[in-house]
Amino acid sequence: MTPDVTVVIPVYNEEEGLQQLFDRLYPALDALGRSYEVLFVDDGSSDRSVAVLRGQFEKRPDVTRVVVLARNAGQHMAILAAFAQSRGRYVITLDADLQNPPEEIARIVAAMDAGADYVGTVRVSRHDVMWRKAASRLMNRVREGTTSIRITDQGCMLRGYDRSVIDAVNHCTEVSTYVPALAYTFARRPIEIEVAHADRAAGHSKYSLYRLIRLNFDLMTGFSVAPLQFFSMAGGVIALTSLLLVVYLLIRRLLLGPEVEGVFTLFAVAFFLIGVTLLGLGVVGEYVGRIYEQVRQRPRYTIAAVLEDPEAEAGIAARLASRQPAHVAGAPE
Ligand code: UDP
Ligand code: MG
């Protein structure tokens, strides 16, 4: 018996905010009137998150599962770990910090009932610091221009995926990826809805500027070879132009003698070319690095423990059975 909905929540050092999350999440899910499971993935937290999750598992073992990763693998790898364990017909991802209101899950489920196999979301008024919003706007534009991924708000992780999309994602073994973009490539009927966004309930963001840049490199190089193509094209044009410059200087030297005044211009040009070469090398390095990681074929994460009740499946079935009369509500007694 598979549950209707799996809610996947990556957790990394969120001990302060988890109780608030439970207090809003479970009532919201109970109100759906569907069978569900909540699948927490602890992404190598070093605080008491695992203990708090264990407490919740003991309270609601019928609908709660906890996967504990051995070490921090990153939000997107943690979500992939959960996808591999998920059983629901619809899989919905959510952040643990309550920035995505759990009450919005109902609207995602409704959109999927209406036939969508990928429900993207757009945050209507985003509650994040200024520089994060500006950087997101820029990255959204760069991605639109270089990849075929059409997502309005790539950063919002409150999303819904149909089982067919999840199965396809589970077949991917690539090492670094961006879950909403990867899933999008398998979606046949993607739609987007607007959702609310809130301030972090507790704790602080787990993304430093460095981690955000890494994440966006994953997105760019994982789904597009445009940067690589840009540098080979630009490299060709620049090499040709500098060749013309060399020929011109050579002829000038033969006809007018050696030039001295122009020597700094030449330096400037040379430095410019060195800069371009280095930048180009950097981009090539991004791809080569990925190829290297891929050919190593290391596991993308390692699971240290799984907290789940073997009776839970039976429990879900029983809960569904007990709800049976609700489905014929309104029929004459
Ligand atoms: N997260 C994770 N592993 C990480 C970083 C973050 O599982 O390495 C989780 C985190 O616990 C939260 C979600 O991913 O549930 C989003 O992280 P955060 O709120 O810090 O990101 P932001 O909202 O600042 O983009
Ligand atoms: Mg957050």
User: With a 6 A CB cut-off, is 75 part of the ligand 1 pocket?
Assistant: yes
323 band by pLDDT with thresholds 50, 70 and 90: low
- According to DSSP, residue 187 is labeled -
Helix (H) or strand (E) holding 318, with range, is helix 312-327
Contact 23, 75 (CB under 8 A): no
Contact 127, 155 (CB under 8 A): no
Q: At what angle do helices 209-223 and 130-146 cross, to 10 degrees?
A: 10
| Residue 278: both structure tokens together | 């280095």
Q: Average pLDDT of the chain?
A: 87
Contact 51, 285 (CB under 8 A): no
Do the bridges between strand 159-162 and strand 90-93 make them parallel or antiparallel, or are there none, so unpaired?
antiparallel
Mean pLDDT of 142-146: 85
Q: How far is the CA of 99 from the centre of ligand 2 (A)?
A: 6
Ligand 1 atom with minimal separation from the 200 CA: 19
Residue ranges per domain, the chain?
Answer: 5-206+299-323, 226-296
Cα–Cα distance, 185 to 207 (Å, whole number): 25
The pLDDT assigned to 333 comes to 42
Ligand 1 atom with minimal separation from the 206 CA: 20
Predicted model pTM: 0.82
Lowest mean pLDDT among 117-121, 138-142, 158-162, 173-177: 173-177
User: With a 6 A CB cut-off, is 14 part of the ligand 1 pocket?
Assistant: yes
Give the tens place of pLDDT for each residue, 238-290: 878 888 887 887 788 788 877 666 676 777 778 778 878 888 888 888 888 88
> Cβ-count burial of 268 within 10 angstroms (0-12 exposed, 13-18 middle, 19+ buried)?
exposed
Give the tens place of pLDDT for each residue, 206-245: 999 999 998 988 888 888 877 777 777 777 788 788 888 8
Classify domain 5-206+299-323 by CATH number: 3.90.550.10
329 band by pLDDT with thresholds 50, 70 and 90: very low
Per the DSSP assignment, residues forming a β-bridge with 67 are 41, 306
